Structure 1
């Protein structure tokens, strides 16, 4: 029995990741910091409610939530010249250190009595400036440590850690807020990022962080978007991701109103929608590693198609059970799409250019969903909640079908056959989703 269990573990697609001499030292740090971020999802908004003037709480809660994520998109563009030549582990550790310092300053300011809502939002914004580069460093490090075949599993491990944290983090944050206030959760979050920074500093030997090109060539003086713009495969994939996340954004506005106004259902129904989405995301993240034999481009486009179809019951006013199943299916498909699209960028970009490219990819992901959420307000006012959900579903479905139609015909090179883009990329003759 023990021998069969050992064989099953070692034959898992995740074994090369968790047994890797470098990655196995880093994964505990990412687990701790992801849990802290999952807890902070609740605390960031709650502390804004406590600090903001009563008449402007809605505005300040929105600003606090945006400040914790959106500056990372600006940092991806504005800091390109400064950061593009750094090694991946240093990018990730600098992001973790900045988060630890800026978030740690919040409980310190609170203790000394100087924490205002404006200072709070400013510290949240400072904490996220390097986040796109930190994400780029993390996934570049995975690409440099793992051969091509296990990279999808490596990306999926991080996705599993993040998905699990979004479920367990808020559950842990609630009693901590009751005991010590929301500021105590942010103090814990700061400690978790300190742990991650130390893990990256101590767990990555200098030689393990090198690109095959280190010592032979420096990172080309170009931005990640410049690389993507000159490669239609990468540009198509970036546009697909941006469109997918943008069109899903209005769901966060329309779904609560659909449950409350159209279904006249209690808040427990809304909680069930989000809980099933989270449970599906955890299951999808665990499943992703087993999809490594599938062609990445067609599968990513297919995921977008199925996600749009799965949202249709919500927009068509189907029975609640059917809508719940569809929403859980979207959650199941979300991590495979993110991991597969990241793997496509890893496969299609040279090591010297990968941090710049992945920083832009991270920036687009950071921007797309919040922008779609902002557009959801006017959409709900114009069409109503249910029709807004239908527009999102149909838009995602159409986007996925268009991406699938743009894939190279069968018999042409796939994403597994292509060589990475050259340091001075030239426009290819075929498009790729």
Structure 2
């Protein structure tokens, strides 16, 4: 009888500590609201592109609009590194949210006024996403700065769960609002949500830490063995000559890519994540085509597919991180990749709706902890003074991977159809997971022999 209560306390405890943190209590509501806005944009961005596209060019401009919402992130990570790497984590979040609010707000104003054309639309979407890699890195770096190591997976899980939960509520809410008031107004709501996050981020970054907070941080958390005082120096933008690594050794200040290249496991994790997301990309094209043309279903059925996925991902993100926190992280990553591929098989093998819905629900449950587990691996292995830059470099590669897969998925679906494309994605994803497992097994075996 005491065992369930103990398990419940172990699950709730980290979230209680997270939500009681004074800084996170201010910024997390903004992150939740902006995630909901992004969930609404899944419908609104594409629908507005269809409405303003010239006759016969809806597919082209819709693809460009969806890609523009993600693909400029690598440019922002590379071209603005000298400027952005000097900012503290909260300022990275605030800068990204501010640019999002301005870019999307401009789209909304022009759309409502009837003055928006496709070229300007794509350009403004691209502008709004320019700092997204830095904003994502800033959010997870903030978790690493503020929480002890044992609570970071939980913090990562909460952030990724915001995004996953937004896919449950956001598209459904956007569908109704788009029909009622139009997609331009919905994008305006998205812009307002980022304005809320920007206000929260700027308020945190401009408020110096109290002496008591600094002492407490030194007591309860160190980042890879680094002292609170050293971390404050790095956060304030001062150029540190060296920092401490996870094993206590001295690591010279280095660029993000050098830090990654010096740690083969981090490089491998980035490549695996890119491949995983790339193989997922065609699903976003194939599933709508499968529902509309092969199942002759309605938009409500498509929404139901994404809703069950979002529910599964939300549950997996919240509970999975707590249940898997003591498991070997790389084994969890491999299990998630293989599990997601297996969950797609019902969609690729049959036209029956029920197995497909069950598969996506289970797939969401399996995928839920993926972002939290991967981010924890980075937080554990990266010197604290380089963490935000390393996470930005990772985001610069992983964020566009899905968009590139989606762009490739268009011609594949046209040539082969929706269901065969889903089957190919499932089989290749399983093959990816098995390949990663084989590489890890050989590496472990080699270490034992040596």
Shared fold per TM-score greater than 0.5: yes
Distance 1:321 1:234 in 2: 39
Distance 1:346 1:373, change over 3 A: same
Determine the C-alpha separation between the residues in 2 that align with 1:272 and 1:181.
22
Number of aligned residues? 410
Q: Which moved more, 1:223-232 or 1:192-201?
A: 223-232
The answer to whether the Cα contact below 8 Å between 1:80 and 1:223 also exists between their aligned partners in 2 is no
Q: 1:55 to 1:132 in 2, by over 3 A?
A: same
Deviations 1:355-379 (A, max 9, x none): 1111122122221111112222333
Which residue of structure 1 aligns with residue 319 of structure 2?
Answer: 287
Contact 1:40 1:173 in 2 (8 A): yes
Structure 1 residues 313 and 73: alpha-carbon distance in aligned structure 2, compared to 1, 3 A threshold: same
**Root-mean-square deviation over aligned CA pairs:** 2.8
Matches of 1:197 and 1:266, distance apart in 2: 37
Give the Cα–Cα distance (whole angstroms) in 2 for the partners of residues 267 and 42 of structure 1: 11
Distance between the aligned counterparts of 1:217 and 1:408, measured in 2? 38
Matches within 5 A, 1:276-315: 276-290=308-322, 291-315=324-348
Give 1:189 deviation, angstroms: 1.8
The answer on 1:43 being equivalent to 2:44 is yes
How far apart, in 2, do the equivalents of 1:390 and 1:178 lie?
33
Q: Which residue of 1 aligns with 2:248?
A: none
Partner of residue 172, structure 1: 173
The answer for the alignment partner of 1:142 in structure 2 is: 143
Q: 2:73–2:400: 8 Å Cα contact kept in structure 1?
A: no
Deviation, structure 1 residue 127: 0.8
Decide whether the 8 Å contact of 1:89 with 1:200 is kept in 2: yes
Partner residue, 2:18: 17
Q: Give the structure 2 partner of residue 423 of structure 1.
A: none
Give the C-alpha shift of residue 119 in structure 1. 1.8
Of residues 200, 206, 209, the one that matches 2:208 is: 206
Deviation for aligned residue 1:269: 4.0
- For residues 367-392 of structure 1, give each alpha carbon's deviation from its aligned partner in whole angstroms, at most 9, with x where no partner exists: 11111122223333454433322221
The residue that corresponds to 1:127 in the other structure is 128
Q: CA deviation at 1:66?
A: 1.6
Q: Structure 1 regions of 5+ residues with no counterpart? A: 413-428
Q: Which residue does 1:345 correspond to in 2?
A: 378
Unaligned runs of 5+ in 2: 215-227, 243-251
Distance 1:229 1:333 in 2: 29
Which 4+ residue blocks in structure 1 deviate beyond 6 angstroms? 408-412
Asked if the contact 2:34–2:194 (Cα under 8 Å) also holds between the matched residues in 1, the reply is: yes
Distance 2:11 2:154 in 1: 14
Distance 1:250 1:216, change over 3 A: closer
TM-score by length of 1: 0.86
The answer (yes or no) to whether the contact 1:98–1:130 under 8 Å persists in 2 is yes
Gap change, CA 1:255 and 1:182, over 3 Å in 2: closer
1:251 and 2:271 equivalent? Answer: no
CA distance in 1: counterparts of 2:351 and 2:14, whole angstroms: 38
8 Å Cα contact 2:158-2:317 kept in structure 1: yes
Q: Is the 8 A contact 1:153 1:288 kept in 2?
A: no
Contact 1:213 1:352 in 2 (8 A): no
Encode CA deviations 1:185-238: one digit per residue, 9 max, x unaligned. 222222221111111122354347983552571697754233222321001111
* Alignment correspondent of 1:217: 240
